[in-house]
Each structure stands twice: as structure tokens, then as C-alpha cells.
Amino acid sequence: MPAAAGKSDDEPPRYVRIGNALLAITEDVIYVGVAVLLTVSAGALLVSAAAGLSGLLDHSTSEVVLDVLDRLLLVFVMVELLFAVRITLRRREIVAEPFLIVGIIASIKEIIVTSVEAADYVGKGEKFVHAIVQVGVLGVVVLILALAAIMLRAKESQPEEGQGNAGSEAKKDANALKVRSGDPEI
């Protein structure tokens, strides 16, 4: 059956294109809503952390500082999630790295809080052991997430398979090595 005049066989019907456009707009509206809520939440946490410093006069310094640090690390998590939303809106794909960083920050936050609490559990047997095990597990989680982020960056820096200029890039690298090593043949 011949294709309609001016229309290719690969082009989807009009209703599919309209539906796709509506879904894309809906996605964008939802992502912008998430971004607004993250921004408001981060701002509220920042104000709350600043207000928490007023407790220095009434409570122990370590208690107040730990509480403020806990809130500030949550602000970092919110900001990193906001970055992930921005990247998703710009690239139209979900990028893994911001979520790995959020996991690292959240794990470090819990390590700090649990470590300070563990100091109060010294000599209390099972509570102390539980806190130390939790810190150890979270430390392993941080290492795994960091390794995953490093591997992801290394993968992203490599040319994709089948990429036409990958061979020419390799030649440029080889020529650069020859120049650096003093080999006059280029």
C-alpha cells in the first residue's frame, strides 16, 4: 500500500504525536512541581537549621550542632535531588549519578548521627554494638555507592560502541603520546 503524500512510513499517526506531546507536557509540569516542593523544603530546612542555632544557649553544644548538621545535610540531599530534576528536564532522561550522590550524602549523614549517639552508648552493651554495626554497614554502602559513581563516570567518558569518530580519537591520542615521548614520526 503506498504511503500518503508527504508522509513517511516511520512517522506515527497524528493522535500518537499529540498524545506524546501531552504526556511530555504533563511530565514537565510534574517535574517542575517536584522542583518547587524541593526548593521550598530546602529553604524551610535552612531556616530551621539557622533557628536551631539559637538553642546553643539552652542545650549542650554537641546536641545543637548535631541537630543543625543533620538539617544541613538534608538540605544537601534536597539540593542534589533538585539538580537531578533539572538534569531530567534538560536531557529528557533520568541520570543515575545525582541519585548515587544523594545516597552517599544520606549515608554519611546517618554515620555522623549514629556515631555521636554511639558515644552515649559506650558501656551499654547491645545498643553500642548495634550502633557500631550500623556505622560499619553504612560505611560499606558509602564505598559501594562511590565505586558505582566512579564506574559510571568512567563509562560516560568512553566513546559509545559504533561511534564513527572513536577510531580517529584513538589515533589522536596515539599521536599525542608519540609527541610527548619525543618520537618524531607522526
Q: What is the pLDDT of residues 157-179, one digit of tens each?
A: 777 665 555 555 555 555 544 54
Q: Any residues with CB less than 8 A from the CB of 10 and at least 6 apart, and which? A: none
Give burial (CB, 10 Å; 0-12/13-18/19+) of 40: exposed
Give the pLDDT of residue 183.
47
Which range has the worst mean pLDDT, 4-13, 46-55, 111-120? 4-13
More confident residue, 150 or 160: 150
Q: What is the DSSP string of 94-123?
A: --SHHHHHHHHHHHHHHHHHHHHHHHHTTT
Q: How confident is the model at residue 29 (pLDDT cuts 50, 70, 90)?
A: very high
Per-residue model confidence (pLDDT) at position 140: 95
Taking phi over 0 as left and psi of -120 to 50 as alpha, with beta for the rest, 94 belongs to beta
* pLDDT score for 177: 45
Distances (CA, A) of 162 to 158, 166, 168, 174: 12, 8, 13, 20
pTM: 0.64
Which of the residue ranges 29-33, 159-163, 179-183 would you say has the lowest mean pLDDT?
A: 179-183
The span from the first CA to the last CA of the chain, in angstroms, equals: 56
| Mean pLDDT of the residues in the chain | 81
Higher pLDDT, 40 or 120: 40
- More reliable by pLDDT, 6 or 147: 147
What is the spatial distance between Cα 18 and Cα 81, in angstroms, rounded to a whole number?
30
pLDDT of residue 45: 92
pLDDT tens per residue across span 55-77: 777 877 777 888 888 888 889 88
As a whole number, mean pLDDT of residues 40-66 equals: 85
Q: Does 35 have pLDDT greater than 90? A: yes
